[in-house]
Amino acid sequence: MQIAALYLSPGHNFFGHHGQPPGEHPMLAVDAVACVAGRGLQGDRFLDYRPDYAGQITFFAEEVHRGVLAALRPPPRAPTVYRRNALTRGVDLATLYGKEFVVQGVRFLGAGECKPCYWMDQAVGPGAEAWLRGRGGLRARILTDGPLRVDCPVAAGLLLAGGRSSRMGRDKAALDWRGRPLGEHQAATLAASGAWPLRLSCRPEQGWTPAGFARLEDGSPDGGALAALCGAVATAPAEVTAVLAVDLPFVTPALLEKITGRAREARAAVVPRVDGRFQPFAAAWHRSAQPELQAGLAAGRPLQEICARLHAAGRLRAYLPEPAEAAAFANLNTPADLARGAALA
């Protein structure tokens, strides 16, 4: 089991609030928590709640979080929305019901499902309670003292939408795609990959901001996408940033998460390469690439050359798409591209 995130809260928002408005206590992201045997987590609202309480710590699978986002397509939601303590990766939590297990040297006893309640339809979106039944996470008792740390953090997300769209002749984010603006489609794709927090790279005059995204306005209007990418990686709140351009509508959440997962494991940027060319705008960029990006920007190097330099230095891994994946990297640069893409959609 890997720990993608850890959260504590000083008070209850849903628990004990039946018939009342929800509380407003935040879920605070931390790098580590102190597990206290038989009592709970230091700093959490359930510490010493009652003797032998079954929910001294709660676990929730990142895979389930991505699943509910992809299935229901609510506005982007942080993993904190479920108000569980530990976001896990790589384990089916249902297999731990009634069993002892060890994470990072701390022993736990799985007490059973952390069942979703009706609040989920309000916190996540309509249909969430029903979708999460049987997938609500794990309640557990803490059997031994010890620290629990984030060891494989969640990736941040960046939607690149600041291009001038000169060949298209209009803002690509506003193009109609499958009955809604292309920008909204791409924002939903990035959100459903599980990336968080989500940021939008745009020009100051672009008024559109998708729900759940923070604006990252281009500070160098003439720097192009490389300047936007360089600034975003430098200021990212996570080591890995999943990057998606607004004009790559065939990239799926699953493909983006696959690329991002490889970047987390390799601790390096992972960039697809199709027909000998890197595809840096449907990629996962690691913070270690930022110095080369910055140097390349200052020297006026093209991004393809920067990618090649990073690859030669071992700080970038080329992802070679499977045959069925290669078409996902088709851009919409011109009205003709849009027409062809709409015919395939």
Report helix angle 290-299 to 303-312, nearest 10: 140
Per-residue tokens: 298: 């200052």
Spell out the residues 6+ positions from residue 61 whose beta carbon is closer than 8 angstroms to its own.
87, 88, 89, 91, 92, 93, 135, 137
- Write out pLDDT tens, residues 317-338: 999 999 889 999 998 888 888 8
* C-beta of residue 242 within 8 angstroms of C-beta of residue 236: no
Alpha-carbon distance of 137 to 134, in angstroms, equals 8
Strand partners, 61: 88
| Superfamily of chain region 156-344 | Spore Coat Polysaccharide Biosynthesis Protein SpsA; Chain A (3.90.550.10)
Alpha-carbon distance of 91 to 230, in angstroms, equals 34
Please tell me what DSSP assigns to residue 175.
S
Per-residue tokens: 152: 């494989």
Q: Would the pLDDT of 213 be above 60? A: yes
pLDDT (mean) for 111-133: 92
Which candidate, 274, 269, 273, places its Cα nearest to that of 285? 269
Residue 117: band (very low, low, confident or very high) from pLDDT cuts 50, 70, 90: confident
pLDDT score for 140: 98
pLDDT (mean) for 38-60: 95
The alpha helices in the chain, defined as continuous H runs, are: 62-72, 119-123, 128-132, 182-192, 224-235, 253-266, 290-299, 303-312, 335-344
pLDDT score for 328: 93
Q: Would the pLDDT of 10 be above 90? A: no
pLDDT (mean) for 17-30: 78
Q: What ranges do the domains of the chain cover?
A: 2-149, 156-344
pLDDT score for 126: 94
pLDDT score for 209: 92
Using DSSP bridges, classify how beta strands 156-160 and 240-245 pair: parallel, antiparallel or unpaired.
parallel
Amino acid at 64: V
Alpha-carbon distance of 293 to 297, in angstroms, equals 6
Per-residue tokens: 61: 């699978």
Please tell me the class of the 2-149 domain: mainly beta
Spell out the residues 6+ positions from residue 312 whose beta carbon is closer than 8 angstroms to its own.
none
Q: Which residue, chain included where needed, has tokens 């605070």? A: 28
Residue 77: band (very low, low, confident or very high) from pLDDT cuts 50, 70, 90: confident
Alpha-carbon distance of 60 to 3, in angstroms, equals 10
Neighbours of 291 (CB within 10 A): 13
Per-residue tokens: 40: 């709970």
Phi, psi of 165, deg, nearest 5: 55, 40
Q: Would the pLDDT of 94 be above 60? A: yes
Average per-residue pLDDT for the chain: 91
Query: Which pTM value belongs to this model?
Result: 0.84
Alpha-carbon distance of 55 to 341, in angstroms, equals 49
Q: Would the pLDDT of 6 be above 60? A: yes
pLDDT (mean) for 113-134: 92
Q: Would the pLDDT of 40 be above 60? A: yes
Rounded percentage of the chain residues whose pLDDT exceeds 90? 67
Q: Would the pLDDT of 85 be above 80? A: yes
* C-beta of residue 5 within 8 angstroms of C-beta of residue 87: yes
pLDDT score for 52: 92
Strand partners, 287: none
